[in-house]
Amino acid sequence: MTKRVLVTGFMPFEGNTVNPSEELLKFLNNQNFSFPVKTQVLPVSFNNSLPLLDKVISEFKPTHVILTGHAQKRTELTIERIGINWVDARIPDNEGVTLKAQKILENGADGLFSRISLQPMINAASNYVPVKISTSAGEYVCNYVLYSFLHLYPDIPGTFIHIPGADDHLDFFKAIQAIIEAV
């Protein structure tokens, strides 16, 4: 089966006009891959991010999914190992919804591990930028989407990658391009 990789990013949020994960998708759309790569911008929305992700997965039928988002306070590219069954948003999503101190899935596992080999991803990215494995995708929409993806699609290898705050993201974008090639 030919590798088919879906890469998602998010719209800007919290008053920002740019989200580096959305800019990543523009960068990837201008690259050449030897296999199909589909990009999709997701809304920063507890209610609408998953229906769009589900629609794209059902139409594109990816063999791998790389979800991405922005973590302004981080300094390295961080590959998420675990999605936790918890949301506790410090700010509302882009639709004004604030989910506080609650499970994502009432009877779901407390955490779900990414089902993709992380070491080849780290090896590929470390040629470009500092990279590390993270055990928390936070408690906002990023983690909500990661946990939900891992729960709904147990047969599709995938994870979440956080792009850190930086003045220039080009090397981080090249690192994620290398990760896509490596998965």
Annotated active-site residue 64? The verdict is no
Virtual CA dihedral for 156, 175, 22, 168, nearest 10 degrees? 160
Which helix (H) or strand (E) segment is 158 a member of? strand 158-164
Please count the residues of the chain. Answer: 183
What's the pLDDT at 3?
Answer: 97
Catalytic entry in 64, 80, 139, 169: 80
Residue 163: left (phi > 0), alpha (psi -120 to 50), or beta?
beta
Q: pLDDT value at position 1?
A: 77
Strand partners, 158: 65
Q: Which residues contact 170 (CB under 8 A, 6 or more apart)?
A: 27
**So what's the pLDDT on residue 40?**
98
Q: What is the CATH number of the domain that holds 53?
A: 3.40.630.20
Of 22, 70, 139, 142, catalytic: 142
Name the active-site residue from 22, 64, 70, 162: 162
Q: Active-site residue 14, yes or no?
A: no
Mean pLDDT by 10 residues, the chain (183 residues): 95 95 98 98 98 98 98 95 97 97 97 95 97 95 98 98 95 98 96
The pLDDT of residue 76: 96
Q: How many whole angstroms separate alpha carbon 54 and alpha carbon 165?
A: 28
Give the chain's domain count.
1
End-to-end CA gap in the chain = 14
**What are 77's two structure tokens?**
């590219």
**What's the domain range around 77?**
5-182
142 part of the active site: yes
